[in-house]
Amino acid sequence: MMTPILLNEYRRVVFFTGAGMSAESGVPTYRGRGGIWAEYDWEEYACQDAFDTDPRKVLDFHEQRRAKVLACQPHAGHRHLATLQAAHPGVGIVTQNTDGMHQRAGAKSVVELHGSLWRIRCPRHGTMEDLASPAYARRDCPHCGTPLRPDITWFEDPVNAAVFEQARNLITQAELFVAVGTSAIVYPAAGLIPLAKQVGAQMVEVNVDDTEMSRLFLERVREPAGTALPELFLA
């Protein structure tokens, strides 16, 4: 295993997390065995067309996802990143996950590239938090009555340009870049990894397997996030 890294030796650090970050919490993955797209057709549940055709069906599906995520707990790796962020003002977390686990573990600032299960939005009146329970507090906009949709980047949606720019800004300044539990195949998010390399960040990958981008990392840690993060990154 790699020698532990002292974050105080870096001014700016970015942890870039994917679905593997929440795997040890038991959050269902999207692909592969047990993945929800093996069971459900995304064209019926996770794209704007599906929502326009049958908003109720799509919202029911997302309420099931929220229930599953609420039944899971953040693990030691999530808690450790929150602690590092509290101890060091230069630590950023950029996630592809929509599960809100980093925030539940206490992280104060998380760039959510693909949105959140815990927000809902009106095309005219913007985004609202909806944290209460698996059931959405409301399904129609309080201002105009338009059906509210989950504030998630679905299949065929563009990513939120302002959020992506925020991630790019953090990564452009990073001296240390740590990718955790991402297969690095979903674009444009995966393109942030070569960006970190290009700006000269020290590159560490924490993943149980090799990925498409492993060759860009000097350090490759083949351990689960929940054990590797507390052992390898010290405040």
Active site amino acids:
114
Sign of the C-alpha dihedral computed for residues 215, 219, 224 and 230 taken in this order = negative
Nearer to ligand NAD, 68 or 139 (CB): 68
> Where are the extended beta strands (E) located within 25-125?
91-95, 110-112, 115-122
Q: Count CB-CB contacts under 10 A for residue 170.
A: 23
β partners of residue 176: 13, 202
Binding ligand NAD (rule: CB under 6 A), the pick from 24, 130, 151, 205 is 24
Closest CA to 166 of 92, 83, 61: 92
Region 211-230 residues binding ligand NAD, contact defined as CB under 6 A: 211, 224-225
Strand duo 149-152 + 115-122: pairing: antiparallel
Among 7, 50, 96, 150, binds ligand NAD (CB under 6 A): 96
Residue of closest CB approach to ligand NAD: 20
CB of 140 to ligand NAD, least distance (A): 26
Query: In this structure, what is the dihedral angle of CA atoms 79, 82, 88, 91, given to the nearest 10 degrees?
Result: 120
The DSSP secondary-structure symbol of 233 reads E
190-209: contacts with ligand NAD (CB under 6 A): 206-209
Residue placing its CB nearer to ligand NAD in the complex, 186 or 201: 186
Interface with ligand NAD, residue 116, by CB under 6 A:
no
The residue from 85, 103, 182, 202 that contacts ligand NAD (CB under 6 A) is 182
* 98 lies in the site for ligand NAD, by CB under 6 A: yes
Total residues binding ligand NAD (CB under 6 A)? 27
Beta partners for residue 219, in sequence order: 204
Restricted to residues 138-167, the positions that interact with ligand NAD (CB under 6 A) are: none
